[in-house]
């Protein structure tokens, strides 16, 4: 099942995504949370804390500035730009994949 969470910035989109993802995982489902925002902070709402979340963003920015290679595929993206969050949710910051415009490709 694929779920897209959309809305105006600041409307609670990220909080909603985080509670959904962790609830699915708690129900025993393999869950992948994708942060497609250009200012990614889903990690904080998932409970990863600021430091880990910020390190994922720094990795993403390194891609933007050319210091890091773009992910070559979806699997590569999750491996290199992903991290395990509470309840076993996998989180990946998605804009790290090559993409002419920001957001989820």
Binding site for another protein (CB under 8 A): 1-24, 27-39, 41-42, 44-47, 49-50, 53-54, 57, 61, 64-65, 73-75, 78, 86, 94, 97, 101-105
Judge whether 40 and 93 are in contact, CB under 8 Å: yes
Give the integer Cα–Cα distance in Å for 28 and 101.
Answer: 34
Tokens representing 67 are 């210091």
Tokens representing 38 are 């250009």
Reduced to 3 states, what is the DSSP secondary structure of residue 86? helix
Q: How far is the CB of 92 from another protein (least distance, A)?
A: 8
Of the candidates 67, 74, 78, 70, the one whose C-alpha atom is nearest the C-alpha of residue 96 is 70
Q: How far is the CB of 48 from another protein (least distance, A)?
A: 8
Q: How far is the CB of 68 from another protein (least distance, A)?
A: 15
């Amino acid at each position: 099942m694929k779920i897209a969470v959309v809305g105006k910035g600041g409307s609670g989109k990220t909080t909603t995504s985080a509670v959904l993802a962790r609830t699915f995982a708690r129900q025993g489902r393999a869950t992948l949370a994708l942060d497609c925002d250009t200012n990614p902070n889903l990690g904080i709402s998932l409970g990863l804390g600021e430091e880990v979340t910020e390190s994922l963003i720094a990795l993403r920015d390194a891609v933007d500035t050319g210091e890091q290679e773009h992910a070559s595929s979806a699997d590569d993206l999750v491996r290199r730009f992903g991290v395990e969050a509470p309840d076993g949710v996998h989180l990946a910051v998605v804009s790290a994949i090559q993409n002419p415009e920001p957001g989820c490709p």
